[in-house]
């Protein structure tokens, strides 16, 4: 028996020695990142994550922008898209409340109706950092529960380099997770890994990556189920970002707020949404990340602002702010109606919403004077960008 134990001990020691990494291997595992753009990435991320400021998301594809224009009776032409986007980027005083603007590729290279002056020029004049949507959209994911995967990694390094030359300093990639569809393990993993690869590529080209795994509002699930899926998704995302050497100090997040599904009979107030959302963030997001820029995801303008305000009633480890599209633009479109005579009033509507969300970022928002229109929900089942 003693002889057997000795033999076992020697074998175990041999096995341990065989798999134990050498000193050189152990040292090589400790990697100190020193990328060419690291300092600039940190500066850009912190500029966007400035007190009282957030992001104007105006990166809708031409098709989606066309749907918005059609809702006010305008044809989807390049000229009409130019008119609308110019209205947004030339809004006086916008830079007081907006620190970054996400653009569609057409807009990044687009001139205003003033010859020689680009949309990017208009943003830079107001101190607003230009950003760019870099994903190529969602496609059916084989062998899943009717879920999607996000394309765009092919050629991304060259595109990011070109976007940097054109004036962009941050990027956005949106992937989605559907709770009614499961979500399946393969869909969550693909979402997380795609975001991590994109983030690494963007940083190497000098663009701060906005990481956006959107937990879709579709479904009748309760807020606890949303919390469970959000925690699972962000755990996978940060795991793969770490594996890919992404520098957390040079990224921004664009999460969904933790809310019940749009068809859930039990609704949550702003305080409960804030409690659940901050619980998820504290469990999953390192304090090295400079900013959390929430998407509105079909919430009403009022709801998105109130929820953000509730999250800023006490200090957070990160800048907790907004990256809204519909929740900033809905009133603007309805005020503009495609008529140049209404441009000033539409810009005032944009400033009003930007100012409200700026106050919410500081935890000082009140709903006094809000219109009934601002409380109308904008959820669309199966919404696509």
Active site residues: 212, 254
Contact at 8 Å (CB) between 57 and 214?
no
Q: What residue has token string 């804030």? A: 274
Structure token pair of residue 370: 């809000």
How many residues does the structure list for the chain?
A: 385
Give the span between the Cα atoms of 223 and 206, in whole angstroms: 37
Burial of 366 (0-12, 13-18, 19+ CB in 10 A): exposed
Q: What angle do CA 113, 328, 295 make, to 5 degrees?
A: 120
Contact at 8 Å (CB) between 190 and 234?
no
Q: Report the helix count and the strand count for the chain, using DSSP H and E.
A: 14, 10
Q: Work out the end-to-end distance of the chain between its first and last CA atoms, rounded to an integer number of angstroms.
A: 71
Contact at 8 Å (CB) between 215 and 226?
yes
DSSP string, 187-244: HHHHHHHHHHHHHHHHHHTT-EEEEEEEE---SS--HHHHHHHHHHHHHHHHHHHHHT
Contact at 8 Å (CB) between 106 and 64?
no
């Amino acid at each position: 028996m003693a002889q057997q134990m000795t033999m076992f001990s020697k074998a175990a020691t041999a096995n341990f020695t065989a798999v134990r990494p050498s000193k050189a291997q152990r040292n090589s595992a400790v990697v100190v990142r020193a990328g060419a753009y690291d300092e600039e990435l940190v500066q850009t991320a912190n500029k966007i994550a400035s007190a009282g400021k957030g992001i104007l998301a105006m990166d809708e594809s031409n098709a989606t922008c066309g749907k918005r224009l059609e809702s006010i009776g305008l044809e989807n032409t390049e000229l009409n898209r130019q008119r609308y986007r110019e209205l947004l980027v030339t809004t006086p005083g916008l830079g007081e409340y907006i620190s970054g603007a996400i653009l569609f590729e057409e807009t990044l290279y687009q001139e205003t109706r003033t010859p020689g002056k680009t949309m990017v020029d208009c943003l830079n004049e107001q101190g607003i950092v230009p950003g760019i949507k870099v994903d190529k959209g969602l496609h059916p994911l084989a062998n899943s529960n009717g879920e999607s995967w996000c394309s765009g990694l092919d050629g991304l390094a060259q595109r990011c380099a070109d976007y940097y030359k054109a004036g962009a300093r941050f990027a956005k990639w949106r992937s989605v997770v559907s709770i009614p569809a499961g979500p399946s393990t393969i869909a969550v993993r693909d979402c997380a890994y795609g975001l991590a690869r994109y983030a690494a590529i963007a940083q190497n080209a000098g663009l701060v990556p906005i990481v956006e795994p959107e937990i879709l509002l579709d479904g009748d699930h309760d807020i606890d189920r949303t919390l469970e899926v959000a925690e699972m998704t962000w755990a996978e995302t940060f795991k793969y970002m770490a594996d890919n050497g992404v520098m957390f100090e040079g990224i921004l997040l664009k999460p969904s707020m933790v809310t019940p599904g749009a068809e859930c009979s039990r609704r949550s107030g702003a305080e409960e949404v804030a409690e659940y959302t901050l619980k998820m963030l504290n469990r999953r997001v390192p304090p090295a990340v400079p900013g959390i820029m929430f998407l509105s995801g079909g919430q009403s303008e009022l709801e998105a602002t109130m929820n953000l305000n509730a999250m800023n009633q006490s200090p957070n480890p990160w800048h907790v702010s907004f990256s809204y599209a519909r929740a900033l633009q809905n009133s603007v479109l309805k005020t503009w109606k495609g008529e140049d005579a209404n441009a000033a009033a539409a810009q005032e509507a944009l400033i009003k919403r930007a100012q409200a969300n700026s106050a919410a970022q500081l935890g000082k928002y009140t709903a006094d004077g809000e219109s009934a229109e601002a409380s109308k929900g904008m959820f669309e089942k199966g919404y696509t960008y």
